[in-house]
Structure 1
Amino acid sequence: MSFKKINCELIKDVFESMKYVEKKEDFRGAMGEFLKHQTTEELKVLLSSISKNDKWSELSNENRSDLLDKFATEIEKAIDSFAELERRIKKVETVFLKEKSLPYLVKTLRYYANLCQLVKVGQKGLVVCKLSDNSCISLLGYTLGPALATGFKVLFVSSPKMGCFIEFIVSLALRVGFPKETISVISEDNNLDVVLKHATVVHCFDNVDDKFQSERMLGIVPLLMPIIIFDSSDLDSACDSVINSTWKDQLVFTSLAKEIFVQETIYEVFIKKLKDKINFSTSKLGNNNFSETLQNLLLDAEKNGVETYTSHYGHVLFLGGRVISKDSSAAPCASVSAFRNIDEAIALANNNVQGFSASVWTENIGIANYVAQKLDVCNVWINSFGIYSPDVTFTPRKLSGKGYFGGLQGFHDLLFYNKDIMGFTGSKVSYEEKDILKSITSAKNAQPKWKSIEKSVKIKQFSALIKFIENNKNKFKNDEISEEWFREWKTFFYQYIDSNQNPSILSPYKEYNLNISYSPKGVLVAEFTKYISNHNKRLLIASILQGNCLVVLNQYDKLQGFYNELSEQLPTGVLKVLPYSYGASGAAVKNPMVDCYFNEYKIDEKLGLCDKFMSVSNCWSDVNNKVSYVKNVWSNIGQGYLV
């Protein structure tokens, strides 16, 4: 294994003294060469070395917490060096890195350093994170923070430019006393299959890559954020928000605002203000490396009769129609179109593959509440944009990612991973496709009504199910199923009630109000294995009481009658239990009505991998994470209203 490393200590000293080496091309050459492609054998040797090194996980929680805090401080002290590194490598202004992205990384690391002392854990394993050149450095906090606090090591699979930042971060970690190979980096050009098949625990993404998928995948995918502007908004502030979130890259995650929807009563006024501001308030664009993408968008606009406007500095507006595609994320352009009413605005914003964020501008409390509730995203900003905090959890929806990030729930998503995913043991028997389709369709039809019922009513209906188990346990008991197994249903049911899982929270947060609400994921499918001790009662209870509808594929034949009668105690479609089969599993995964599939097995390659697969442990914290979405609604108190 041979690759040329950047001397990070030299870079730091040079940058801080602002005395550059005479031959700048030497630095650029090193940048492109230090992450070299490795042979399969070299990669296996490296992964084996990393896996055997457990010094980090063997440290006490207090020591890990102390080192994480020192690590954050060292990064904070090197802020000028990071800024210069970004200026030299990415050739962009460094104001955002110095004022927002790097401080947010430091803040996130400190949050998990504190959390490390409160939650006593010491896991062994490896977390893999894939980064691209477009990754924002603040994203690293959501991998490094919870992974290191938990006791895992971190391996970055990186592009050359981002690799320079990682190599610098590694040097800072070693400086404060991190054991070697606690944080490592390899080139994205390496054979990723070798990485995936090794002792990897969790995969963290910043973008979807077909070569880099796993049933244990977590990820944040940078996609395009919609902005909705109503006639009751402060138009000047709304224009500034569009400019900052579209062209100035002011977001912690690279989810830029490219689609702006404006109420038709103020459309012309808004367009005039926006044109004036982008002509006189924005900076001149640097070298445009996206001319081909932009040219294609211009051709599409011309073909579809969409008006275009180009500012003095090259910023492009597409007026009156939707032209933007996901490939245009880095191009200097935005699409502006009009809407007539509130529901049309919501439909336009939800009509895309992203479910990460949206910005809403209005000073009408009723509109703000209604729109925030209906938007299918995990972050809603009212009269603001791009607000995050490490202690606030979010869950990407649709194609914008998978998993929980931030807060205690983000910590638990790594902590309670399923260690015991088994090989497939079920018989590949035939099945009736119409049965699985009927069950999923019934669940899909029942779920909207079931989720709208108050939780107290759901609990009352579920209590009938518990009484049924109490009264009929002798009917289903046998040598393999003890009375304790049946008693656990009642115990877990009351545990769920007592814990008051997932309430909505309204709390002040500095200059903003934050409303945190939880919503069901929809139609869930779960596998129950032939080992009854693995039947996840907590998953079934939490899924249903949170407002989901659940289809169970059961492999333990002797309990099929029990589960059939159990499902009859609830409204039609809320719970259905079918015999497990390979074909039924494949049909459920491929069915578009299924929102999440909890699997107990290693995924068969013929079945393929998709973002529906999710492993879940038998722990309340993990189960409650996995069956619901979190939505954060940030409202700007300074604009004169609360949500």
Structure 2
Amino acid sequence: MTVQTAKPAALPAFIGGEKKNLIGGKWVPASSGETIPVINPATGGSLGSIAASGSTDVDAAVAAARAAFEGEWSSWTPDQRRKLILKIHDVLLENFDELAMIETLDMGAPLARTKPLSGWTSQVLQFFAGQVGAGTVAAPENSLPGDFLTLRYRPPVGVVGGIIPWNGPLIGLWWIFGPALATGCTAVLKPAEDASLSVLRIAELMTEAGVPDGVINVVTGYGKDAGHALAEHHGVDRIAFTGSVGTAQTIVRASAGNLKRLQLELGGKSPDIVFADADLDKAVPGAAMGVYTNSGQVCVAGTRIFVQRPIHEEFVARMTEFTKTIRVGNGLDPDTQLGPLISQRQLDRVLGYIDVGNKEAKLAAGGNRLGGDHADGFYVEPTVFAGATNDMTIAQEEIFGPVATVIPFDTMDEAITLANATPYGLAGGLWTENLGTAHKVSQAIQAGTVWVNCYGVLDPSIGFGGTKMSGYGWKGGREHVESYLYDKAVYLNLG
């Protein structure tokens, strides 16, 4: 398997140079003057730099968000906020080819993945526009003596801090900005230092669309500096974080100072169960891409594939052949299906797990680095390990790369037990033609989302979340919007 190369393409004008923070409607460098290089993971080449922000910059962003929350923004009507979100929708769709290319250049996902996100972006923005007004006033009856009117309000919580990962910033930022705009909150977003460019460009377009100064703020930098400062800041009322369990535990401790609300979406080691009656024409590519999508850099990836023993050998053979057909390469090539990993660090991590897998199980496909040295990008072959057991390292630890572990099982009860034998509970899947099996197993899997005869589909009006060590809180749906509000009761004595 070789790396698909791409013809030279004209880069968006936004690419290159030093990118600054958006604070209070102004683009400003980090107070330290320090920057972080931006590397194209497909080539190892430079895409410019971003601000290496710290606590001083976070202080300024939070102050700007607080001033906006308590200022003009608080007087905006629901109709004005709804129209603003729809204006942002139109501006982004007009510029989405540029946004898709920026995302591809910055984090490696192929244009075949990033361009279709225009449809998802349209859907999610229309969803949040439709949720404006979630803080409706109610006037419940009361049992107080005298003449009292009791009201229930749902005001916005205030300043929201968001920390998102590098594996899909075009998607991740809307779980912060969308509900903030819908409810009247303001936001300070810290994107991952490995992939901040598309977030910065979207923030630029949002200001052009008419978002008032300070309502959205973007501060780039390392997690240990800017991220930690945002998590512990007493001026932040809510933190939404997506990332690793270890970082989340640090954020939980940092948030204790003012008991800020938390929403955490963390790691996963999701099971995908293939029963003997499954349609393998659908289950093989479906389960494979449940692992390989975004080069395996997806928190819900179904990397533990449990296959019922009567079809185990056939499934492994067919998945191996399917894996060999996948085109890996530069995301600017329209035929590329899988791009590079995000960084040399992530490549080293994935290759380390492949080395472990070679000692634990049987390598059925892949297992090699592609593309030569650092200058050729951070590519790895999609990989299949067969004949594995659920207690192996490659079956228990999140690899975050295109590495599938196929594990045989005999009975439904065994499959359920194995699927739940993990500290994580983010997602899961199963493939069967039996409705009873589908219902029983989907109910038994301990996960926030379960897919049946499909994998990885997402509707923002439904949402998703995790259980166990995969976090808490809900993204999408009405519950997501309501988590940006708090409850207030008002007693009016009319006597």
> Which range, TM-score by smaller chain?
0.7 to 0.9
Shift of 1:342: 0.1
Match of 1:142 among 171, 175, 178: 175
Work out whether residues 298 and 400 of structure 2, in 8 Å CA contact, stay in contact via their aligned partners in 1.
Answer: no
SS class of match (2:219): strand
| Structure 2 residue aligned with 1:538 | none
| Structure 2 residue aligned with 1:44 | 59
| Structure 2 residue aligned with 1:34 | 50
Question: Over residues 325-381 of structure 1, what are the superposed CA-to-partner deviations in whole Å (9 max), with x where a residue is unaligned?
Answer: 676533231100100000111111111122121111000111111101111112111
Match of 1:320 among 368, 387, 395: 387
Q: For 2:433 and 2:239, how far apart are their aligned partners in 1? A: 41
Shift of 1:411: 1.5
Amino acid at match of 1:221: L
1:310 and 2:365 are equivalent in the alignment: yes
1:292 and 2:348 are equivalent in the alignment: yes
Q: For 1:301 and 1:253, how far apart are their aligned partners in 2? A: 20
| Structure 2 residue aligned with 1:165 | 198
Work out whether residues 81 and 132 of structure 2, in 8 Å CA contact, stay in contact via their aligned partners in 1.
Answer: yes
Larger Rg: 1
Match of 2:399 among 326, 329, 347: 329
Q: Tell me the C-alpha RMSD between the 2 structures.
A: 2.9
Q: For 2:328 and 2:455, how far apart are their aligned partners in 1? A: 20
Shift of 1:118: 6.0
Shift of 1:282: 4.5
| Structure 2 residue aligned with 1:212 | 251
Work out whether residues 129 and 156 of structure 1, in 8 Å CA contact, stay in contact via their aligned partners in 2.
Answer: yes
Alignment of 1:461-472 (within 5 A): none
- Taking a change above 3 Å as real, the CA distance of residues 71 and 150 of structure 1, as seen in their structure-2 partners, is same
1:203 and 2:258 are equivalent in the alignment: no
Work out whether residues 427 and 450 of structure 2, in 8 Å CA contact, stay in contact via their aligned partners in 1.
Answer: yes
- Taking a change above 3 Å as real, the CA distance of residues 106 and 25 of structure 1, as seen in their structure-2 partners, is closer
- Taking a change above 3 Å as real, the CA distance of residues 194 and 418 of structure 1, as seen in their structure-2 partners, is farther
Work out whether residues 96 and 250 of structure 1, in 8 Å CA contact, stay in contact via their aligned partners in 2.
Answer: no
Work out whether residues 223 and 326 of structure 1, in 8 Å CA contact, stay in contact via their aligned partners in 2.
Answer: no
Work out whether residues 264 and 472 of structure 2, in 8 Å CA contact, stay in contact via their aligned partners in 1.
Answer: yes
| Structure 1 residue aligned with 2:292 | 247
Question: Over residues 273-300 of structure 1, what are the superposed CA-to-partner deviations in whole Å (9 max), with x where a residue is unaligned?
Answer: 1111111245456556444334433443
Count of residue pairs the alignment pairs up? 399
Q: For 1:375 and 1:51, how far apart are their aligned partners in 2? A: 42
Work out whether residues 47 and 198 of structure 1, in 8 Å CA contact, stay in contact via their aligned partners in 2.
Answer: no
Match of 1:401 among 447, 460, 471: 471
Amino acid at match of 2:408: A
Work out whether residues 246 and 258 of structure 1, in 8 Å CA contact, stay in contact via their aligned partners in 2.
Answer: yes
Work out whether residues 252 and 386 of structure 1, in 8 Å CA contact, stay in contact via their aligned partners in 2.
Answer: no
Work out whether residues 131 and 162 of structure 1, in 8 Å CA contact, stay in contact via their aligned partners in 2.
Answer: no
Work out whether residues 226 and 357 of structure 1, in 8 Å CA contact, stay in contact via their aligned partners in 2.
Answer: yes
Shift of 1:24: 7.5
Alignment of 1:352-391 (within 5 A): 352-391=422-461
Amino acid at match of 2:89: A
Work out whether residues 146 and 411 of structure 1, in 8 Å CA contact, stay in contact via their aligned partners in 2.
Answer: yes
Work out whether residues 192 and 211 of structure 1, in 8 Å CA contact, stay in contact via their aligned partners in 2.
Answer: no
- Taking a change above 3 Å as real, the CA distance of residues 152 and 401 of structure 1, as seen in their structure-2 partners, is same
**More displaced, 47-56 or 350-359?**
47-56
Shift of 1:56: 2.4
SS class of match (1:409): helix
- Taking a change above 3 Å as real, the CA distance of residues 287 and 65 of structure 1, as seen in their structure-2 partners, is closer
- Taking a change above 3 Å as real, the CA distance of residues 403 and 296 of structure 1, as seen in their structure-2 partners, is same
Shift of 1:382: 0.9
Alignment of 1:80-159 (within 5 A): 80-99=97-116, 101-117=117-133, 119-120=135-136, 123=156, 125-159=158-192
Match of 2:421 among 333, 341, 351: 351
Work out whether residues 207 and 220 of structure 1, in 8 Å CA contact, stay in contact via their aligned partners in 2.
Answer: yes
SS class of match (1:116): coil
- Taking a change above 3 Å as real, the CA distance of residues 97 and 309 of structure 1, as seen in their structure-2 partners, is same
**More displaced, 258-267 or 157-166?**
157-166
1:186 and 2:219 are equivalent in the alignment: yes
Amino acid at match of 1:300: V
- Taking a change above 3 Å as real, the CA distance of residues 251 and 90 of structure 1, as seen in their structure-2 partners, is closer
Amino acid at match of 1:369: H
| Structure 1 residue aligned with 2:89 | 72
Amino acid at match of 1:35: A
SS class of match (1:366): helix
Work out whether residues 125 and 199 of structure 1, in 8 Å CA contact, stay in contact via their aligned partners in 2.
Answer: no
| Structure 2 residue aligned with 1:238 | 283
Amino acid at match of 2:365: T
| Structure 2 residue aligned with 1:267 | 312
- Structure with greater helix percent: 1
- Taking a change above 3 Å as real, the CA distance of residues 356 and 20 of structure 1, as seen in their structure-2 partners, is closer
Q: For 1:25 and 1:105, how far apart are their aligned partners in 2? A: 25
Amino acid at match of 1:203: I
| Structure 2 residue aligned with 1:224 | 269
Q: For 1:378 and 1:109, how far apart are their aligned partners in 2? A: 23
SS class of match (2:98): helix
Question: Over residues 476-512 of structure 1, what are the superposed CA-to-partner deviations in whole Å (9 max), with x where a residue is unaligned?
Answer: xxxxxxxxxxxxxxxxxxxxxxxxxxxxxxxxxxxxx
- Taking a change above 3 Å as real, the CA distance of residues 66 and 257 of structure 1, as seen in their structure-2 partners, is same
Q: For 1:381 and 1:202, how far apart are their aligned partners in 2? A: 30
Query: TM-score, structure 1 length as denominator?
Result: 0.57
Q: For 2:488 and 2:164, how far apart are their aligned partners in 1? A: 24
Q: For 2:94 and 2:434, how far apart are their aligned partners in 1? A: 43
- Taking a change above 3 Å as real, the CA distance of residues 158 and 260 of structure 1, as seen in their structure-2 partners, is same
Shift of 1:144: 1.8
Q: For 1:24 and 1:253, how far apart are their aligned partners in 2? A: 25
Q: For 2:311 and 2:347, how far apart are their aligned partners in 1? A: 32
SS class of match (2:251): coil
- Taking a change above 3 Å as real, the CA distance of residues 24 and 241 of structure 1, as seen in their structure-2 partners, is same
Q: For 1:207 and 1:22, how far apart are their aligned partners in 2? A: 30
- Taking a change above 3 Å as real, the CA distance of residues 276 and 21 of structure 1, as seen in their structure-2 partners, is closer
Work out whether residues 112 and 146 of structure 1, in 8 Å CA contact, stay in contact via their aligned partners in 2.
Answer: yes
Shift of 1:206: 0.9
SS class of match (2:455): coil
- Taking a change above 3 Å as real, the CA distance of residues 84 and 261 of structure 1, as seen in their structure-2 partners, is same
Shift of 1:175: 1.1
Q: For 1:185 and 1:134, how far apart are their aligned partners in 2? A: 18
Query: TM-score, structure 2 length as denominator?
Result: 0.73
Q: For 2:86 and 2:77, how far apart are their aligned partners in 1? A: 14
Which has the higher relative contact order, 1 or 2, with Cα contacts under 8 A spaced 6 or more apart?
2
Question: Over residues 210-231 of structure 1, what are the superposed CA-to-partner deviations in whole Å (9 max), with x where a residue is unaligned?
Answer: 4422352102224232110001
| Structure 2 residue aligned with 1:600 | none
Amino acid at match of 1:292: D
Amino acid at match of 1:315: P
Q: For 1:393 and 1:275, how far apart are their aligned partners in 2? A: 33
- Taking a change above 3 Å as real, the CA distance of residues 164 and 261 of structure 1, as seen in their structure-2 partners, is same
Work out whether residues 58 and 122 of structure 1, in 8 Å CA contact, stay in contact via their aligned partners in 2.
Answer: no
- Runs of 5+ unmatched residues, structure 2: 1-8, 19-36, 39-45, 137-153, 330-337, 371-380, 490-495
